[in-house]
Amino acid sequence: MHEAYPEIIQVIDDFISQNGAESHKRRRDDTQFASNGVSVPQIRRAVLQKVPKLKNISESTIRRTLLPPHQGRAASNRYKSLVNAKVPPKRNDHSATDSALSHYCRSQVKQVLELAFMHEKEVVVASCDNKV
């Protein structure tokens, strides 16, 4: 893909330089990190906006232009390393966000705990995650 559209590499590099974070000065290389403030879907949108000839590009193609997350693994051969930036790690923090019913669920738990403490001779309360 980068052979047909060489401007993709410059767009990705510029986008990460403007929105990402550089490595600490004590590090030996000047690798940028796309994980601070930049996601692969954001890079993809920027590429599609700035390269009008390009109709579609996958997130995995964007990911493969960056440096591999682990150099020693066999999968690192798939990465082209055309942009001096690390691949942002995949995150699974969606469950930590509040849903529309989270306030209701929390209030129900507090109400049940309050009722349990009112009748503490008949109820045993066990907290498995140190939260009461």
Per-residue pLDDT of the chain (132 residues; tens, 9 = 90+): 667 778 888 988 888 888 766 655 665 555 665 555 678 888 899 999 998 888 888 888 888 888 888 888 888 888 888 888 877 666 666 666 667 788 888 888 888 888 888 888 888 877 776 555
How far is the C-alpha of 106 from the C-alpha of 24, rounded, in Å?
41
pTM higher than 0.95: no
Query: What are the residue boundaries of the structural domains of the chain, listed by start?
Result: 7-86, 100-132
Question: CA-based diameter of the chain, in Å?
Answer: 75
Alpha-carbon 15 to chain mean position: 16
* Both tokens assigned to 75: 């999968």
* DSSP symbol at 29: S
